[in-house]
A = this chain, B = another copy of it.
Amino acid sequence: MAKINSNYTKLQGSYLFSTIAKKVNEYTQNNPGKKVIRLGIGDVTRPLPGTVIAALHKAVGEMGDEETFRGYAPDLGYEFLRKAICENDYRSRGCDIEPDEIFVSDGAKSDSGNIQEIFALDNRIAVCDPVYPVYVDSNVMAGRTGDYDSDLGAYRDVIYMPCMGENGFVPRIPEEIPDIIYLCYPNNPTGAVISLDELQKWVDFANEKGSVIIYDAAYEAYISTEGIPHSIYECKGAKTCAIELHSFSKNAGFTGLRLGYTVIPKELERQGVSLHSLWARRHGTKYNGAPYIVQRAGEAVYSPEGKREIRELVGYYMKNAAYILNGLKKAGYEVSGGVDAPYIWLKVPDNMSSWDFFDHLLADANVVGTPGSGFGAHGEGYFRLTAFGSYDNTVEAVDRITSM
């Protein structure tokens, strides 16, 4: 008799964003006349930049011609893309990363869910609270978290690192020593950033204790403040303790195109085994590469014209972020984030719960956001809005919220 993976039964409800989608669908079906504005899931809305579209058309043309057709991609990704990533995202910032330390994938969500597989099941993980649910849920599925304690609103064997307003939403190093530490800066969901000095402390701690940091840099393109690190490899010694995840979704609008990459330096070893070789083996066995046409689209992002368009795209969304931030502030809300990140994190007024505020906002302003409690117990009482809507919709949403 086949037995199911009973770890799945420890998961709480459905995946956060699936729940939201269901609630919104229900509302729109029951209220067909209402125009609902979605500032929830963090999906981009602007079309792909012109250079990306041109690169896609060109690559599609190649796939239709016998001479230029491409079958299976190389395991790690095409060299043209790995070189472009290496040059633009690392060497230009003084980070000593090689192209063959970069693994191209179909996105940071897959990588952040799959990366835990190369580690033993008895590793203790530490996550920020609130946190992007995939880090925790993928570890629940694997059996690393223990049972869910509904009184605590937490899994028993996970080390939660509270991120509160008091500490600028950057956690303190926990007393209990974790084996694997998930960090995400600029942060999802709080929109907070971490300084180079603060991040260096984590790197030093991990090197001292033998922990591995999984650093999610999906939002680095939104950093505008000087001195905020774009990569963990800007820290000394990060190559012996850190894995870094990147996405093309939020800088270049690839949420529907799917492209990301993971960096594992070759000197990163534990128990004498190279984590690079383990991840290479996983890629080779369970994955067959990102589509050639999408990798060409990724390459175009690094062209001079592509970079200009990306800056414009990021600027567009950051104008939204500023509008939300200032509008809500003026209306008396307690808000943070939204400066070096596309997320605005607001304190829910009147001691409402996050989900009550979600329902209230949906019903009374027809605006969709994300309840902070969906990201963890310490997200309760908070609410996330994203800057990824159109400008007009963003303005309308803020006006509706502030006049509720």
Chain B: which residue is nearest A292 at the CB level? B256
Contact A211 B18 (CB under 8 A): no
Q: A69-B45, A256-B71 are in contact. Are A278 and B8 (CB under 8 A)?
A: yes
> Do residues A5 and B117 form an inter-chain contact, with CB atoms below 8 A?
yes
Give the residue of B72, B258, B293 whose beta carbon is less than 8 angstroms from that of A255: B72
Q: A330 at interface (Cβ–Cβ under 8 A)?
A: no
- In whole angstroms, how far apart are the Cα atoms of A72 and B257 in the complex? 8
Interface residues in A33-75 by Cβ distance below 8 A to B read 41, 43-48, 50, 52-53, 56-57, 60-61, 63-66, 69-73, 75
Q: Interface extent on A, as a size class?
A: 35 or more
Query: Given contacts A2-B180, A15-B285, A288-B107, is CB(A255)–CB(B71) below 8 Å?
Result: yes
- Complex-state Cα separation, A110 to B9, whole angstroms: 23
A288 to chain B: closest CB distance in Å?
5
Indicate if the CB atoms of A113 and B285 lie closer than 8 Å.
yes
Which B residue sits closest to A109, measured CB to CB? B288
A120 and B257 in contact, given A60-B57, A69-B47, A72-B43 (Cβ under 8 angstroms): no
Q: Are B48 and A64 in contact (CB under 8 A)?
A: yes
Interface flags, A298-328, vs B, CB<8A=1, else 0: 0000000000000000000000000000000
- Nearest 10 interchain pairs by C-beta: A113-B286, A1-B210, A43-B71, A53-B64, A15-B284, A3-B120, A2-B212, A71-B255, A47-B69, A2-B179
